[in-house]
Structure 1
Amino acid sequence: MRKTLLALAVAFFVSPLTAMPADHVAQVLAANQAATAGNHWEAKDRLELHYAYSGQGLTGRTAFTQDLQRGRFVDRWEVGPSHTTTGFDGKKAWEVESSGTATPQEGGDVRQLAVNEAYRLQNLWWRSDRGGATITDAGCKSDGGKPYDVLIVAPKEGKPFEVWFDATTHLMARTIEANSTLTIRTDYADFAPTDGVQLAHSVVIDDGGGQANLQRMTLSSATFSTGGDDAAFALPKTDLHDFELAPGTTQAKVPFLLANNHVYVQASFNGGKPLTVIVDTGGHNILVPDSASALGIKVQGAQTASGGGDSVQQSGLAQVQSIRVGGATLKNQTISVLQFSNAAEGLDEQGMIGYEFLARFITRFDYGSHELTFIDKKHFDPSDAGTPVPFRLYHQFPEVLGSYDGVPGRFGIDTGARTVLSLTRPFSERHHLREHEKNGTEALTGWGVGGSEYAYVFHGKDLQLGDVTVKSFLAELSLDKGGAGGVEAFPNNVGGGLLKRFVVTLDYDHQLMYLKPIAGKVDDLDTFDRSGMWLNVADEGFGIVSVSSGSPAAQAGLAAGDVIETVDGKAVSSIHLYDLRRRLRDEPPGTKVALTVERNGHPREVTLVLRDLI
């Protein structure tokens, strides 16, 4: 999944303060209230803030409407070609993403972050009961020679974040908060009085992408008013007309290639030649830079992107007139421009079709017939679609409430993942899953936006998704410390390796997924690599990226950095990487594979003997 657009939390507002205990936390908060002139706020109801924006190679403006008494807000971002809005009505978080769809947000950490923002904008920490939050003293810290008093605040129904108060002025200078896969530092400076209180006129957001990716906002206006309008904070209604099926049709069927458990189709951007793209329910509409350039599409900015793997990448934004997949077309869209690692898949991936396209239709993945179908919503008959499974949205990612081995959890539905079931590191550690799984192996198991992904792979227990139970499948416990597998916010991941048991139909409007079992045998099901190595495409062959300790590859003397030039006498240039990976999974233990391997310019012959690793 791509990076999350950030909702700014501006915190300068008050609720009545009564006497607090004479500890350091109370002293810090009382000093902050006095410095901010909090006692001027009791009669104020609403605040409108407008900023000029620059950062990540883009310019624009942002606006924040805040209910100071009830913690409701609407945050609007008009940055480059992208226009997004996030909101909180006091109970529910919602989002309008750049293509215009408005969705309630119950998945991941979106509501927790909205609760945090509401807490800060009301300054509930000034109350004697601290607004129900747990606040702990993190001590005094120094940065750039300046001293700060640091507190850790955990609002009720929110998530912990750090807040730094300038030890000299006592004004809030910084927050540090985990947001999805990123850690966001927000600095507040250039305070000046407005209606008797201090407001920061400079806000700088650092999402970990480096100095070039800092987002700067300069306050242009601040307006107070009284009264509140419930409708102003409610989820907007949208009526989109930017998509179509071929005239006279109610659905469009498109053949797909299933490789590495990924779905690939041909898509045309701006009427250009068809390009090979991956179809990903965990992603967005994307082009790679070379394809955007060849089509004459202008790319703006460089935003921080993250997903599977520990690293972050940079993605640009672009405007396209049309995206066509078979007889289905989406028009006038802002897309991301992001470099994919084609080395990891062995296909020339030129882009991605994601949520914005899939949600315009009822979208069906028939893994049995290898067909993708886009269905007119008005002509969808669910009677034969299979068992309905409710889902909610984590931004645009479908998230199902279910259980693994009887343990309740959240499970993302991700056609862009090769794995069967990947359980996140926080989930597996919290429930001590590794302690009960002795017959597995550690390995590099995938490649995401953030690079390599490592996991402990084993035969899993029962997975429950709504009324659907899946048994006897391959599972893995993520070993990643960052990225989607390493953070609490992300759900466990249900990938193509499990979904290919079904005809999968997605109805985003009603937040329902239908699962209908495939008739007959499913190929290449729940097998794991029997070689013990991960391969990527290299300039002169297949490059070995990782070798598991004690594996057949290690016993054959193979090591990371080696390049495979031939397999059973065939040059690798005549072999698809995904076909070789499948062979190394599916051929029986004891199979001998003859390799020619180059190391430091010296070729040698190696015999690899496949063996079960789990």
Structure 2
Amino acid sequence: MISRRLILTYLLSLTVLSGTFFGEKSLTDPHAILEKHFEAIGGLENLKAMKTMYQEGAIVIEGAGLEGTFKQWSERPLRLRQETDLKIVSEVSGDNGEVSWVVDANGKVLIKRDENTLKEREVRKLMEEYEYMNSESEFFTLTFEGVEKVNGKDCYVVKIANTINQDVQINFYNKSNFYLLRTMIIKPDNEDHITYSDFRTVDGMTFPFREKVKTLPTGETTTVEYAKYAFNVEIDNSLFEPPQEDVEDFVFMKGDNAEDVPVEFIESHIYLPVNVLGKERLWVLDCGASVNVIDSSFAAELNLQFEGPIKGQGASGVVNFYFVTLPAYTVGSIQFREQKVLALSFREIFQRALGLDVIGILGYDFLSRFVTKIDYAKQTLSFYHPSKFEYHGNGKVIDSPIEGSMFSLPLTVDGEYSGKWRLDIGAPDIDFHYPYTKANDLLNREGVDVIVGDAAGWTKSRISRFRTIEIDGFILENPLIGMPSQEGTGSFAEESMIGNVGNSFLRNFVLYMDYSDQKVILEKGDDFGKEFQRGKSGLQYLYNADNDVEVQFVSPNTPADDAGFKERDIITSINGIEVQYLDGVIALRKLMRAEAGTTYTIGILREGKTFDKQLTLRDLF
């Protein structure tokens, strides 16, 4: 879970050290530096003799109040098992030499067969075969990057890149004793900066017994303290195998499934009632949430115990969250046992943006148990047990390996912008990620500027009309796609995916999400190809702390801008009717989606003065 990549890091750095001597070379040659380091830690033959390894120790997530233990077994090539116990949450992960797998804090088994994982395994296997030391390797390039200081000590810097994926490892070797003092593992979407210390000799080999890891962009710091290294231990091969049975922490209370469950589709989000301890409240369905989430204030109402905080990523930035144990809950005719979930303050977002009291997010810990069918046009959900589900429709079955906890889909925009997109039923729209937007010169494309937000905060985006968007023969014309205007640190900054595809695209279909087989099924829905009305004013508004409707943003060169609206204006009336009698912000948004040419007289309160403005709607795209 949290520490697997950290504990493996030093093992991989040791693997990088072993190889063939090439004679005396200048220490600007990276191979010569590696050879010196190899000599310093105990010798090539001892390293090669390590066929298996066992490690155990302690792990602390600083500032989070989370600490625990880990155990790890490994056998070359690739075979691995790690058990991490942070007391309030635990996870088991591994690799049997054929596939990587993970069992999360709620017992769900995931076989990792996404492209990134497959490439990482290929790189690791080649490193264990010492392919990187081949100066003519078609896979690896080693370069000397100069001399830099680490904790006041001069270090040789060696970069290891490969042609299989975009990951780069940069190692810093102490010039005086050639110990590895720091490693930077740079991936497209995150970085780990690991500092090594407390070096000790075990069976003739020198290892660091302490690692301090800072993860970017979250800034989370983790300390790993090793208590034991043991080599060439006997390991039961079954340890490396994924569990044969998956968790089943739910029951259908009426038959073998729950079909045609009515939901509310409000402002491009899916809502349904959930009952916890007799309190039925509205939750939003979101496959972009890697776990179930409960609002912190509602968790407090239920007297749940908070443990944390931990840092995580939202769409627009970094957020703090806590762990809590959610008691047994029901969704329609489905009953769940208690689960570990995250507690996060987000209730106010829905209250301010929509006037809705939404206190939970049903994410991976809910959806991954089923094959879920979403009929957007009929506004119904159906849930099927994966072992009993058979598809006999005429839709397109799309292989969609789960990466992290989300499906990825191959989409093409305008016949040229092709790649993997994250499927996200918790997102209202289609959005390119910032790195792709920048790399493809889309930042200056004409469009309408808006602001978008989540629990991490607000960020600017530009919505632009494209010609087509296509997936597996389904073609939709004139899609509107958002493009972040700034990089940020959230999921919109992700490089491994082109973007997120949300409900403005998905609502054209009947969507099936099959987590067990890692497939997505798309059928044409009753609304396929329909042009859904969008706002025509350029106004964005929400409830402020006084429960007044306040202008949050005015898009440049729109009717609202032309009419002279300003941020922080209070909207008091529409055509003489006070806002409080218009059924809230959602009703206002519907009014702003009326036919182009519609004119409203809007009452405004600005700096203590009241006056009217004329606003005439027009098509913005």
* TM-score, normalization by structure 2: 0.87
Q: Distance in 2 between matches of 1:297 and 1:551?
A: 47
Counterparts of 1:112 and 1:604, CA distance in 2: 62
Can you list the C-alpha shifts for 1:520-554, whole angstroms capped at 9, x where unaligned? 5887x454432224333312323333333333333
Q: Secondary structure at the match of 1:41?
A: helix
What is the aligned partner in structure 1 of residue 10 from structure 2? 10
Q: 1:308 aligns with which of 315, 330, 343?
A: 315
**Which residue, 424, 427, 431 being the options, matches 1:414?**
424
Map residues 172-571 of structure 1 onto 2, 5 A cutoff: 172-178=180-186, 181-208=189-216, 213-225=220-232, 232-248=239-255, 250-269=257-276, 271-283=277-289, 284-309=291-316, 311-340=317-346, 341-342=349-350, 343-384=352-393, 386-407=395-416, 408-419=418-429, 421-432=430-441, 438-444=445-451, 446-481=452-487, 482-519=489-526, 525-540=531-546, 541-571=548-578
- The question of whether the paired residues in 2 share the 8 Å contact of 1:152 and 1:163 is answered with yes
Work out the CA distance in 1 between the residues paired with 2:252 and 2:394: 21
> Match for residue 38 of structure 2?
33
Cα distance change of structure 1 residues 600 and 426 upon mapping to structure 2, 3 Å threshold = same
Percent identity reads 20
Conserved 8 A contact 2:19-2:130: no
Residue-pair matches, total: 602
Query: Which range moved further: 184-193 or 539-548?
Result: 539-548
Name the aligned partner's letter for residue 325 of structure 1: V
Q: CA RMSD in A?
A: 3.1
Q: CA separation in 1, counterparts of 2:156 and 2:609?
A: 60
What is the one-letter code of the residue matched to 1:15?
A: S
CA deviation after TM superposition for structure 1 residue 246, in Å = 0.7
SS of residue in 2 equivalent to 1:383? coil
Contact 1:15–1:122 (CA<8 Å) still a contact in 2?
no
User: Counterpart of 1:173 in structure 2: which amino acid?
Assistant: L
Structure 1 529/250 Cα, relative in aligned 2: closer, same or farther at 3 Å? closer
Write the distance in 2 (CA, Å) between the matches of 1:565 and 1:30: 74
Contact 2:60/2:68 (8 A) holds in 1? yes
Deviation of 1:476 (Å): 2.5
Tell me how far apart the structure 1 counterparts of residues 568 and 169 of structure 2 sit (CA, whole Å): 41
Q: Distance in 1 between matches of 2:153 and 2:554?
A: 48
Deviation track 1:81-108 (CA, whole Å, cap 9, x = no partner) reads: 2222333455643322222222232447
2:5 corresponds to which letter in structure 1?
A: A
Partner of 2:90: 83
Cα deviation for residue 59 of structure 1 reads 1.7
Which segments of 5 or more consecutive residues in structure 2 lack a partner in the other structure?
Answer: none
Equivalent pair of 2:190/2:217 in contact (CA under 8 Å): no
Specify the alignment match of 1:147 in structure 2.
154
Asked if structure 1 preserves the Cα contact closer than 8 Å seen for 2:150 and 2:182, the reply is no
Distance (Å, rounded) in 2 between the aligned partners of 1:603 and 1:115: 67
Aligned to 2:65: 57
Which range moves more in the overlay, 347-356 or 537-546?
A: 537-546
Deviation per CA, 1:566-604, whole angstroms, max 9, x where unpaired? Answer: 4444444454333333433x2233333333334444444
TM-score if structure 1 supplies the norm length? Answer: 0.88
TM-superposed CA distance for 1:58, in Å, is 1.1
Q: SS of 1:190's equivalent?
A: strand
- Distance change >3 Å, CA 140–CA 593, structure 1 → 2: farther
Contact residue 508 and residue 528 of structure 2 kept, 8 A: no
Q: Give, in whole Å, the separation in 2 of the partners of 1:58 and 1:380.
A: 40
State the shift of 1:70 in Å: 2.2
Instruction: Say yes or no: does 1:165 pair with 2:173.
Output: yes
**Structure 1, unpaired ranges of 5+:** none
Q: CA deviation at 1:64?
A: 2.5
Aligned residues of 2:476 and 2:529 also touching (Cα < 8 A): no
- Between the aligned partners of 1:236 and 1:418, the Cα distance in structure 2 is 36
With 377-386 and 534-543 compared, the bigger mean Cα shift is at 377-386
Which string of whole-angstrom CA distances, capped at 9 and with x for unpartnered residues, describes residues 39-77 of structure 1?
22121111111121222221211222233x424433332
* 1:411 CA drift (Å): 1.9
Using the alignment, how far apart are the partners of 2:188 and 2:326 within structure 1?
28
Q: C-alpha distance in 1, partners of 2:43/2:569? A: 65
Higher relative contact order (CA 8 A, sep 6+): 1
Offset, 1:35: 2.5
**Range that drifts further, 51-60 or 556-565:** 556-565
CA 1:169–1:432 in structure 2 vs 1: closer, same or farther (change >3 Å)? same
| 1:47 corresponding residue in structure 2 | 53
Alignment check: 8 A CA contact 2:37 2:180 kept: yes
The secondary structure found in structure 2 opposite 1:29 is helix
**Deviation by residue 1:336-370 (Cα, 9 ceiling, x = unmatched):** 11111333444222011112211212211111221
Q: Distance in 1 between matches of 2:43 and 2:136?
A: 17
Q: Distance in 2 between matches of 1:146 and 1:600?
A: 59
Structure 2 counterpart of 1:416, which letter? G
- Distance change >3 Å, CA 499–CA 166, structure 1 → 2: same
- SS of the equivalent of 2:537 reads coil
Distance (Å, rounded) in 2 between the aligned partners of 1:573 and 1:190: 65
* Matches of 2:54 and 2:473, distance apart in 1: 46
Deviation of 1:126 after TM superposition, in Å, equals 5.5
Matched AA of 1:387: K
